Amino acid sequence: MVGERMIVGRSPKIEVVLESDTVSRQHMELVKDDAGLWWVRDLHSRNGTLVNGARVVSHRLSYGDVIQVEDYFLTYVRMPGEVAGKRPIGAGHLTMVDGPVGQLRSLRDLGAPKIDASQLSRLIALGGELLATAEADDRIRILCDLMVSGDMHGTSALAIRIDRSGVQEPALLRPPSLAPGKETPHISRTVLRTVLASGAPVVASTYDGGKALLKLSMVMEAMSAVAVPIGGDEGHLDTLYVTLPSNYGTAEWLALVSLAGELYRQAESTWVARRQAEAQAVLEEELGRARDIQTRLVPRDFHTGKLDVSFDYEACKWVGGDYVDALPLRDGRLLITVMDVCGKGLEAALIAAGLHTTVHVLVHEGLGVAALVRSLNRYLCSTLPAGVFVTMCSLVIDPETGEIEQVNCGHPPPMIATPGGALREVETFEQAPLGFLDGDAEIVVTRDRLDHGQLLALYTDGLSELLDERDHMLEVEGLAALVAAVAVDGATSSATQLATRLRARLAAYRGAAVPADDASFILVLRPSVSSPSPTLSASRSPS
C-alpha cells in the first residue's frame, strides 16, 4: 500500500475500484496513522465492511487480516521484499495468508497430463539420487532444489510441516529453495487446509483461463501453487509446496510435482526400512553375544566316578529363562538345580542370570538347600515384578550313597529311571513357586535315593509341554517314556551319551514344529557298581 490513505469503493474516481452494484461508491478507506500502522474504516457503506468475518467500523490491520467488501476479499500481507529485508525467513517460519487462491484442483479434476520424456527421465534420476543419499536433510534439499531447477520451472519450493490439530502454525522443515531473483512466497492457508483434508496433491492458481483474479498491489502477485503430501504421521503432515508461474497451474505440472513427491515418499520408506534393518542387525548381534554368555553359564558335562552328569539347555528365542546348574558343596555332596523363570526372552534371561549369581554366592557362603531356597525366595519377592515367578527344583545328592534331599517350588518333580525301563517320580512335596511362596513358610525337604545304575532326570516344562507338528503336547507321560527308553542303556553309556539320545528323541517328536518354550534338562547317572569307573573329566555340553 502506498501513500497515507486509500479509498475503496465502486466510484471510478477513487484509488481502489471494486466493480459491483452492491459495493458503495465510497465503501471504506485504508488509513495509515502517525505510527505507520494501517487501519480500515467503514465509510457508512450500505452493506458494511467485514474483517476476518466480523463487521467493523474501524479496525487496526494485522498481517493476515482478510477484509471483505461484498464479494471481494482483500488480504493484508507483508510484501515479499519487505519480509526479506526485515526478517529473513529461516526453517520454521512462514508468512501465511488467507483469501482467494483461484480454483483448487486435484489430479482427478484435471485431464490426463502430457508429460515430456525428458522430465520423466529427470524424475527417475531423482529417485536414484534420493536412494543414494543417506542424510534426510540432504534428501529434502535435493527434492526442493529440483523443483526450482530449469527442468521444473518452480519459483520456490518449500517443505512445510502442518500440524493436523491446527494448534501449531505451519512451519518450514528447511530453508526454502528459490529460483534466482525470487523471494520466499506467502503460503496460502487455503491450499494447506485442502491438502491436509484430502491427503492428495492439489494445485491452485490465481490465473484462470487468461482472466487474472483481482490483482492488487497489496494482495499478491499472480502465481500457481502445488501442494503435495510427502510424509507425516497422526500428528502432522509434511507437504512439498511449490510455487510456479501463474500459467503453470495445469495437470502436467501437478502430475510432475506429485510424481516427485511420490518418489520422495518411496525413498523415505526405503530409508526407514534400511535403518530398521541396520538396527535389527545390531540388536541381533547383541542378542547373539547375550546367548553366548548365557550358554557359558551352563556347566560342562562332568564325571566324578561316583556320578555322571549331563546338561541340556535350549532357549526358544535368543536367550531364555531356564536355569540349570550343579555345584559341589563343602561336605562333598552335589547341589543340582533346575529353575524356570515365568515368561521367555530377554526379561526372563536377565532374571535367570541374576539367579545364577545369587545361587553361587549363597552356596559359597555354605547354605544348605532349605536355607538357600528361603533366601532365593526373599530375594525374588523383593525384586520380581508382580505376577512373575520362578519354579525351582533343587536337590542335594550324596555321590557315595545316592541319598537325595529335594526342595521343590512348583517345578515338575524329577524322574528316576532304572536300566530295566521302570520309571518313577522322586519323592516330592510341591510348594508354591518362588515369588509366590510365603516368606515365613516352612521349607519342606523330601528325601529319596538314586541307586546304582539309575538315571535321575530333572527338566523344565518346555520338555513335557513340547508340541509336535500337529500341536499335540508330549505331556509328562510321553517324556517319561522317552527318559525310560534312553535309561535302558545306562549300564553301557555315559550321561552325555544318554542326553544326546534323549535330545534326538525329543527332536524327532517335535519334527518341524517351532519351539514355543525354553527347554532344559539335567541327567544324573549313578553308574552301576560293575561299570568301569570313568576318570574325572569334563566336556562342554553339545547344546
Partner 1 sequence: MNIEDKDYSVAYEQAERRVRFTGQLRLRSPRDYGPILELLRTVHAEGGPLITLDFRDLEMLNSSGIGTFGQFLVEVRKARTTQVKILGSAAKPWQGRTLALLRKIWDQVELVIG
Confirm or reject binding of residue 342 to partner 1 (CB under 8 A).
yes
CA-closest candidate to residue 334, choices 313, 305, 376: 305
Confirm or reject binding of residue 476 to partner 1 (CB under 8 A).
yes
Confirm or reject binding of residue 428 to partner 1 (CB under 8 A).
no
Window of 273-281, 469-477, 507-515, 521-529 that interacts with partner 1 by CB under 8 A: 469-477
Confirm or reject binding of residue 514 to partner 1 (CB under 8 A).
no
Window of 31-39, 149-157, 295-303, 381-389 that interacts with partner 1 by CB under 8 A: 381-389
Please compute, for residue 364, the number of CA atoms within 13 A of its CA located in the half-sphere on the CB side: 6
**Gap between the Cα atoms of 244 and 304, Å rounded:** 87
**Gap between the Cα atoms of 315 and 344, Å rounded:** 8
Cβ-based nearer residue to partner 1, 405 or 517? 517
Cβ-based nearer residue to partner 1, 337 or 464? 464
- C-alpha cell of residue 272: 526407514
Three-state DSSP at 59 gives: strand
What residues numbered 252-311 form the site for partner 1, per CB under 8 A?
A: none
**What's the min distance (Å) between Cβ of 67 and partner 1?**
57
Contacting residues for 451 by C-beta, under 8 A, at least 6 apart? 402, 418, 526
Cβ-based nearer residue to partner 1, 249 or 343? 343
Confirm or reject binding of residue 343 to partner 1 (CB under 8 A).
yes
**Gap between the Cα atoms of 321 and 383, Å rounded:** 16
**What's the min distance (Å) between Cβ of 383 and partner 1?**
15
Window of 96-104, 161-169, 388-396, 450-458 that interacts with partner 1 by CB under 8 A: 388-396
Please compute, for residue 288, the number of CA atoms within 13 A of its CA located in the half-sphere on the CB side: 6
Q: Which helix (H) or strand (E) holds 484?
A: helix 475-487
Q: Any idea of the CA torsion for 250, 252, 257, 258, to the nearest 10 degrees?
A: 100
Confirm or reject binding of residue 430 to partner 1 (CB under 8 A).
yes
**Gap between the Cα atoms of 159 and 129, Å rounded:** 18
Confirm or reject binding of residue 386 to partner 1 (CB under 8 A).
yes
Cβ-based nearer residue to partner 1, 71 or 475? 475
Confirm or reject binding of residue 517 to partner 1 (CB under 8 A).
yes
Residue reference for cell 474483517: 51
Cβ-based nearer residue to partner 1, 50 or 474? 474
From the list 21, 331, 442, 477, which residue makes contact with partner 1 (rule: CB under 8 A)? 477
Confirm or reject binding of residue 410 to partner 1 (CB under 8 A).
yes
**In this structure, what DSSP letter does residue 465 have?**
T
CA-closest candidate to residue 129, choices 143, 115, 116: 143
One-letter amino acid of 320: G
Cβ-based nearer residue to partner 1, 21 or 440? 440
The length of the chain in residues reads: 543
Three-state DSSP at 311 gives: strand
From the list 180, 209, 387, 439, which residue makes contact with partner 1 (rule: CB under 8 A)? 387
Three-state DSSP at 504 gives: helix
**In this structure, what DSSP letter does residue 18 have?**
-
**Gap between the Cα atoms of 305 and 328, Å rounded:** 14
Cβ-based nearer residue to partner 1, 409 or 486? 409
From the list 9, 201, 433, 527, which residue makes contact with partner 1 (rule: CB under 8 A)? 433
From the list 134, 473, 507, 508, which residue makes contact with partner 1 (rule: CB under 8 A)? 473
Confirm or reject binding of residue 320 to partner 1 (CB under 8 A).
no
One-letter amino acid of 26: Q
Total residues contacting partner 1 by CB under 8 A comes to 26
What residues numbered 165-194 form the site for partner 1, per CB under 8 A?
A: none
Q: Are strands 16-17 and 5-9 parallel, antiparallel or unpaired?
A: parallel
- C-alpha cell of residue 34: 502517525
Q: Cα–chain-centroid distance for residue 193? A: 29
Measuring CA to CA, how many Å separate 377 from each of 370, 371, 438, 500?
11, 10, 8, 33
Confirm or reject binding of residue 414 to partner 1 (CB under 8 A).
no
**Gap between the Cα atoms of 124 and 151, Å rounded:** 13
Confirm or reject binding of residue 436 to partner 1 (CB under 8 A).
yes
From the list 111, 385, 439, 532, which residue makes contact with partner 1 (rule: CB under 8 A)? 385
Window of 166-174, 271-279, 323-331, 471-479 that interacts with partner 1 by CB under 8 A: 471-479
Three-state DSSP at 387 gives: coil
Confirm or reject binding of residue 468 to partner 1 (CB under 8 A).
no
Window of 155-163, 208-216, 362-370, 382-390 that interacts with partner 1 by CB under 8 A: 382-390
Three-state DSSP at 223 gives: coil
Confirm or reject binding of residue 516 to partner 1 (CB under 8 A).
yes
Window of 285-293, 327-335, 432-440, 484-492 that interacts with partner 1 by CB under 8 A: 432-440
From the list 155, 224, 294, 431, which residue makes contact with partner 1 (rule: CB under 8 A)? 431
**What's the min distance (Å) between Cβ of 502 and partner 1?**
21
Confirm or reject binding of residue 475 to partner 1 (CB under 8 A).
yes
**What's the min distance (Å) between Cβ of 226 and partner 1?**
45
Which residues of this protein are in contact with partner 1, per CB under 8 A? 340, 342-344, 347, 385-389, 391, 410, 412, 430-433, 436, 461, 465, 473, 475-477, 516-517
